[in-house]
Amino acid sequence: MEPIPYGRQWIDDDDVAAVVAVLRGDWLTQGPAVEAFEDALRAVTGARHAVCLSSGTAALHAACWAAGLGPGDVVATSPLSFAASANAARYVGAEVAFVDVEPDTWNLDPSRVPADAAAVVAVHYAGLPVDLRRLSRRPRVVIEDAAHAIGAVTPDGPVGNCAHSDLCCFSFHPVKTVTTGEGGAVTTNDDALAERLRRFRHHGIVARPDEGGWVYDIPELGYNYRLTDVQAALGTSQLAKLERFVARRNELAGRYRALLVDLDVGLPPAAPAGFRHAYHLFPVHVAHRRRVYDHLRRNGIGTQVHYVPTYRFGAYSSQRARALPHTDALYAGLLSLPLFPALRHDDQDRVVAELAAALETAP
Ligand SMILES: Cc1ncc(COP(=O)(O)O)c(C=O)c1O
């Protein structure tokens, strides 16, 4: 039987045609197709600005830099995320303070952001938005890590509109809902932040046209974090299918919930009233995770663990990770089941049957 991956991009003829059109044109790196993708991202999120970057990690790095975070600043974030959420704060020299997740959202508890935090990087884990209205205190900078959450909605509108944040970061890696191969973006409503993001992705260059058409300065160092037009063309074409992708993910998640109801499995938190889940992932909680993981893998079911908590990595031994009991309890049993738009119902039935068999053989 064909193996079932845990995630897979959906690429159709429209996407291929959009990329081919750019390849046949004059411009390959950042140009008009990047601008068009940024316009499409502004339309989808409702933000005033969208700035594309070469990855979600670059987007988070740029957001931390643009916001002026640096040495002496404490950045609070979730330990239950891909390391990039915390790494970005470290890249600019800030210290990371991990905040325990809540058992009923699996997101960082907004009421427990430490009083000395200059910033919070709020990760919308699996695609369920953090309720930023519940921040006990608004730090100087609020950044959303929405790598999982394009297409999610809060009572204040689409994730990415920055209703309660300064900057919102997206990833377009192939397992994400919308892909550009590699790619990312930051949205913001702040003109000055948008200008800094654009500067950062292009070596920190500031043109000085009054001194000559060729003259520029680099007042602060930036990077080459540009997205290419080839990637952006794919992104615009993918974004046109966002609604369909997220609706399908929600439908499959609902079906998993029904199929798993009689198994001894902890289900992921559902979206509260007024929120829409993007279901980038469908993580469950099981006993004897190692055996279940090995059984599923042996039987062709792609499963992953999202995530080893970041504070456990060697490179994080110097960072602040006070008691994280909910994160540790959750991590002990976490397992993501396959979820992607092309997943068929009979694939899903097979996943659930193998999961049931794995749970039966566990001691
Ligand atoms: C929560 C989260 N943040 C950031 C990233 C980094 O994105 P990218 O892989 O595009 O650099 C990822 C992706 O893996 C992620 O899952």
Per-residue pLDDT of the chain (363 residues; tens, 9 = 90+): 899 999 999 999 999 999 999 999 999 999 999 999 999 999 999 999 999 999 999 999 999 999 999 999 999 999 999 999 999 999 999 999 999 999 999 999 999 999 999 999 999 999 999 999 999 889 999 999 999 999 999 999 999 999 999 999 999 999 999 999 999 999 999 999 999 999 999 999 999 999 999 999 999 999 999 999 999 999 999 999 999 999 999 999 999 999 999 999 999 999 999 999 999 999 999 999 999 999 999 999 999 999 999 999 999 999 988 889 999 999 999 999 999 999 999 999 999 999 999 999 866
Closest CA to 255 of 341, 345, 342: 345
Residues 151, 235 within the same domain = yes
How wide is the angle at C-alpha 79 spanned by C-alphas 310 and 148, nearest 5°?
Answer: 100
Q: How far is the CA of 73 from the centre of ligand 1 (A)?
A: 22
pLDDT at 363: 65
Number of Cβ atoms within 10 Å of the Cβ of 159 = 30
Q: Is the CB of 81 under 6 A from ligand 1?
A: yes
Q: Is the CB of 55 under 6 A from ligand 1?
A: yes
Closest CA to 87 of 330, 336, 311: 311
Helix/strand/coil for 99 = coil
Helix/strand/coil for 291 = helix
Residues 277, 173 within the same domain = no
pTM over cut 0.75: yes
Q: Is the CB of 15 under 6 A from ligand 1?
A: no
pLDDT at 1: 83
- Pocket mutation for ligand 1, best pick of 57, 101, 307 (most atoms within 8 Å of C-beta): 57
Residues 188, 295 within the same domain = no
> Sign of torsion, CA 255 258 260 264?
positive
Residues 208, 345 within the same domain = no
- CATH no. for residue 335? 3.90.1150.10
Q: Is the CB of 85 under 6 A from ligand 1?
A: yes
Q: Is the CB of 169 under 6 A from ligand 1?
A: no
Give exposure, 220-258, as e/b (b: 16+ Cβ within 10 Å): eebbebbbbbbbbbbbbbbbebbeebbebbbebbeebee
Answer yes or no: is 58 within a domain. yes
Residues 334, 220 within the same domain = no
Residues 54, 202 within the same domain = yes
Domain encompassing residue 70: 13-239
Helix (H) or strand (E) holding 160, with range, is: none
Q: Which of 239, 260, 275 is the last residue of a domain?
A: 239
